[in-house]
Chain A
Amino acid sequence: MPAMTEALLKVSLNHYLVLSAILFTLGMLGVLLRKNVIVILMSIELMLNAVNITFIAFSRYSGNIDGQVMVFFVMTIAAAEAAVGLALAVLIFKRFKEVNIRYFEHLRG
């Protein structure tokens, strides 16, 4: 599969970065525009993983393993964040029978 290998070799750092930027923007739009808490959490995951792609790409590009180590940390934080976020979503659902982000306004004193 020389064509395949050739194509893969043509994928440069910029491609990864553009992909990452697109994913990050999509995630951000999701966070800003969607009302469903679960979807927002998923969008946040998308943003985090877009960052992860950047890390991996730079790590590979510069031959430095540090970026890949950082990705593990980001994934750990993402897991913790998802756990907390889902717990909040469950509570919101119990209270209002819906998981709309607007309900968090009720936290206002």
Chain B
Amino acid sequence: MGSTGHHHHESAPVNLTKSNLMFVALSALLLGGIGYSLRGATAVDGLFATLLLAPLFGFLFNGLRFRSPNAMLSGTVATLAAFVSFVCSVLLVVKMSGAGGAPLSAQFFDWMVVGDLSVSAGFLVDKISAIMILVITGVGTLIHLFSVGYMSHDERPSKYFAYLNLFLFNMLLLVLGDNLLVMFVGWEGVGLCSYLLIGFWFSDSEKAAAGMKAFITNRIGDAGFLLGIFTLFFLFGTVNFSEINMRAVQFGIESGWAGPMTLACLFLFIGATGKSAQIPLYVWLPDAMAGPTPVSALIHAATMVTAGVYMIVRLNPLFLAAPNVLHVVAVVGGVTAVMAASIGLTQWDIKKVLAYSTVSQLGYMFLAAGVGAFGAAMFHLMTHAFFKALMFLGSGSVIHAMNGEQDIRKMGALQKKLPITYGTFFLGWLAIIGMPPFAGFFSKDEILWLSFHSPLGHWSLWLLGLIGAVMTAFYMTRLMALTFWGKSRVPAGVNPHESPLSMTIPLMVLGLLSVIGGWIGIPHVIGHALHVPNVLEHWLEGAIHGIPGLQPGSAATEIALMGISVSLAGISAIAAFTCYVRRPELPGHLAARVRGLYDLVSNKYFVDEFYFGKLINPLVEGSRNLWAYVDVNFIDRGTYLVSDMVRGVGSVARTVQNGNLQQYALYIALGVAATLFLVMR
């Protein structure tokens, strides 16, 4: 880029006019597209079209001028595109709840009609996807805004914003699609954007490799997802969500392991483990932190990684009809929550801690879905989007201030240098460790309570959740302590400074949401005394099937469990505070005491090593051998044989065509004679 940078400055005015022209052309295209899709259509169709096309427009605008180094223009257009989508989402949701909560849908065209398969480009906003689009476009807009400041020194901001807008478009396809295939298009699209953005600084081969790891790991999950779609289509003859859910209810509950619905749900869940980073496919998410930090906040914390949870919630009647799969989902979610949290205890990279925390929190969402508490899963999805996006953006602000340093051992005492970042991060911290009345408390508590109380749950699942919560409180407090509190370990020559307003405003908004975001789902035991309703539960009634056979729980048990989890988390946080602020020498001693265990955990249980040693390398080696022996000796030989035969026959046939005109004439004569003979016979 260095050599071409000069050129850019020279041609900047030309670029501007060119991009202006392009803007006009694209606007015309966009308006034309909207106009076309609205021939005699309703305002709802228009809102859907604008909601989807605005980010696509931003992608085209920035993608076509991807060489431009003008971060301000790219960022403004991209942020505006996201904001337009947000406004449309709000209007759609208002319209929907105004109409009594009936789902709004738009059918733009028949996408494919092949035999029994009929798929339309249909989109649907119901109460489940309403939460998703508000989170995606709302948090998305804030993160776009944050990126304007964060990427201001980057060499290729236009490319970055183009990818970001493309991601938004695909994510909206994913959540709005009214059938599995449209969802799959979005599902693959967000995977592509994730790959492009993780490897955004691809000149660093480690970052490029992280992008590929994410892409390939996701492909494994996607294969499962596709098989799930095939199975469902084979079983029900449709890929439409509402029809699948309807038919699943008609089929009744499938209690065995080998039934078709169980199989389909298992396949879909494999897809979910890939996208949402659960055991065994979670390994890509920590590495995905190689991407720019706002990307980690948007894609790898708030939106894309929740796609798996969303998919299961979207198909909740189907999953309820396959309770065995729900048990698998719950156990995988619970174990992932604990395992990822334990790895988070030992990480030194600020983003890695947050990444493992994300894996762990996604585990909670699956735990909730697995015990049938789909509403709680959506609730935690939403609150997690707020506080985790906040913490990622906060870490971005810290990294920005530290000139790219991510090691928390080289930080400390940043609270005075970065007051706004610290203040908002503090709110996120309280939210994630589940302190009332912050957002995370309500959602996590609901999950813990229902995993204990639901007929699909079990006390052991609750225990897993509790252990995860205690660990979460510990590693998050450790992160706070090492980053913002204690003594400064900032190397000389680095002068941390508070980030510009475009970065702190999103932090403040998300900080506010991390405080109040949970108030829409206040549990009855508390809400009853305070006379506040559980807004979210009422909201989701009808859209989500209730847990079958759920008895009203005892308020005393619920309060007791709540008390246990909050007090244990509090104790854990105080312990972490003691370890890392009061007596900084203590953690080292403790780690030395259990050296073996510590090494096991801090090396992430050697899962990557296991995958490479036992799966990937043997596979690569086996493929190499297949190529060297089977391919070269048999397949290549076979094809050469065929080609030689063709060539031999050809060289014989070639003698016929020798340029001798009289011989040609003879052929004609013989041909005529033969024809005559055949005709006259």
Taking a contact as CB atoms under 8 Å apart, the answer to whether A28 and B661 are in contact is no
Taking a contact as CB atoms under 8 Å apart, the answer to whether A31 and B659 are in contact is no
Closest-by-CB residue of B relative to A37 is: B661
What are the 9 A-B residue pairs with the smallest beta carbon separation, nearest first?
A105-B659, A108-B659, A104-B661, A31-B665, A32-B666, A32-B662, A32-B665, A101-B661, A28-B669
Closest-by-CB residue of B relative to A35 is: B662
Question: Which residues from A are CB-within-8-Å of B17?
Answer: none
Most buried by A among B662, B665, B666, B669: B662
Taking a contact as CB atoms under 8 Å apart, the answer to whether A105 and B660 are in contact is yes
- Tell which of B658, B659, B669 touches A32, judged by Cβ atoms closer than 8 Å: B669
Smallest CB separation, A54 vs chain B (Å): 14
Smallest CB separation, A29 vs chain B (Å): 10
Taking a contact as CB atoms under 8 Å apart, the answer to whether A102 and B660 are in contact is yes
Closest-by-CB residue of B relative to A44 is: B665
Question: Which residues from B are CB-within-8-Å of A107?
Answer: 659
CB-CB contacts of B651-670 with A at 8 A, as 1s and 0s? 00000001111100110010
Q: List 8 A-B contacts (CB under 8 A).
A: A28-B669, A32-B665, A33-B662, A101-B661, A104-B659, A104-B661, A105-B661, A107-B659
A:30-63 near B, CB below 8 Å? 31-33
Other A-B pairs, 17, CB within 8 Å; known A28-B669, A101-B661: A31-B662, A31-B665, A32-B662, A32-B665, A32-B666, A32-B669, A33-B662, A101-B662, A102-B660, A104-B659, A104-B661, A105-B658, A105-B659, A105-B660, A105-B661, A107-B659, A108-B659
B:147-190 near A, CB below 8 Å? none
B:623-681 near A, CB below 8 Å? 658-662, 665-666, 669
Interchain CA distance A87-B417 in the complex, whole Å: 99
Question: Which residues from B are CB-within-8-Å of A31?
Answer: 662, 665
How many contacts A-B (CB < 8 Å)?
Answer: 19
Interchain CA distance A102-B662 in the complex, whole Å: 9
Smallest CB separation, B667 vs chain A (Å): 11
Chain A interface size, under 10 / 10 to 19 / 20 to 34 / 35 or more: 10 to 19
Question: Which residues from A are CB-within-8-Å of B658?
Answer: 105
Which residues of B line the A interface, CB within 8 A? 658-662, 665-666, 669
Question: Which residues from A are CB-within-8-Å of B660?
Answer: 102, 105
Closest-by-CB residue of B relative to A29 is: B669
Question: Which residues from B are CB-within-8-Å of A101?
Answer: 661-662
Interchain CA distance A33-B665 in the complex, whole Å: 10
Question: Which residues from B are CB-within-8-Å of A104?
Answer: 659, 661
Interchain CA distance A105-B659 in the complex, whole Å: 5
CB-CB contacts of A81-104 with B at 8 A, as 1s and 0s? 000000000000000000001101
Interchain CA distance A101-B669 in the complex, whole Å: 18
Smallest CB separation, B239 vs chain A (Å): 56
Question: Which residues from B are CB-within-8-Å of A105?
Answer: 658-661
Question: Which residues from A are CB-within-8-Å of B669?
Answer: 28, 32
Interchain CA distance A102-B659 in the complex, whole Å: 9
Smallest CB separation, A27 vs chain B (Å): 11
Question: Which residues from B are CB-within-8-Å of A28?
Answer: 669
Interchain CA distance A104-B658 in the complex, whole Å: 11
Interchain CA distance A31-B661 in the complex, whole Å: 10
Most buried by A among B658, B661, B666, B669: B661
Interchain CA distance A105-B666 in the complex, whole Å: 16
Interchain CA distance A104-B662 in the complex, whole Å: 10
Closest-by-CB residue of B relative to A109 is: B659
Smallest CB separation, A16 vs chain B (Å): 19
Smallest CB separation, A86 vs chain B (Å): 16
Question: Which residues from A are CB-within-8-Å of B662?
Answer: 31-33, 101
Smallest CB separation, A38 vs chain B (Å): 14
Closest-by-CB residue of A relative to B669 is: A28
Interchain CA distance A33-B660 in the complex, whole Å: 12
Question: Which residues from A are CB-within-8-Å of B666?
Answer: 32
Interchain CA distance A101-B665 in the complex, whole Å: 12
Smallest CB separation, B670 vs chain A (Å): 10
Interchain CA distance A101-B663 in the complex, whole Å: 11
Question: Which residues from B are CB-within-8-Å of A108?
Answer: 659
Closest-by-CB residue of A relative to B657 is: A108
Smallest CB separation, B663 vs chain A (Å): 9
Closest-by-CB residue of B relative to A34 is: B662
Closest-by-CB residue of B relative to A31 is: B665
Smallest CB separation, B655 vs chain A (Å): 14
Smallest CB separation, B577 vs chain A (Å): 89
Smallest CB separation, A25 vs chain B (Å): 10
Smallest CB separation, B398 vs chain A (Å): 74
Smallest CB separation, A8 vs chain B (Å): 31
Question: Which residues from A are CB-within-8-Å of B661?
Answer: 101, 104-105
A:61-88 near B, CB below 8 Å? none
Smallest CB separation, A98 vs chain B (Å): 15
Interchain CA distance A49-B315 in the complex, whole Å: 85
Question: Which residues from A are CB-within-8-Å of B659?
Answer: 104-105, 107-108
Interchain CA distance A28-B660 in the complex, whole Å: 16
Interchain CA distance A101-B659 in the complex, whole Å: 11
Interchain CA distance A107-B664 in the complex, whole Å: 15
Interchain CA distance A103-B450 in the complex, whole Å: 97
Closest-by-CB residue of B relative to A105 is: B659
Smallest CB separation, B259 vs chain A (Å): 68
Interchain CA distance A104-B664 in the complex, whole Å: 12
Closest-by-CB residue of B relative to A102 is: B660
Interchain CA distance A73-B7 in the complex, whole Å: 73
Closest-by-CB residue of A relative to B660 is: A105
CB-CB contacts of A9-31 with B at 8 A, as 1s and 0s? 00000000000000000001001
Smallest CB separation, A23 vs chain B (Å): 15
Interchain CA distance A20-B659 in the complex, whole Å: 31
Question: Which residues from B are CB-within-8-Å of A102?
Answer: 660
Closest-by-CB residue of A relative to B666 is: A32
Closest-by-CB residue of B relative to A107 is: B659
Interchain CA distance A19-B658 in the complex, whole Å: 34
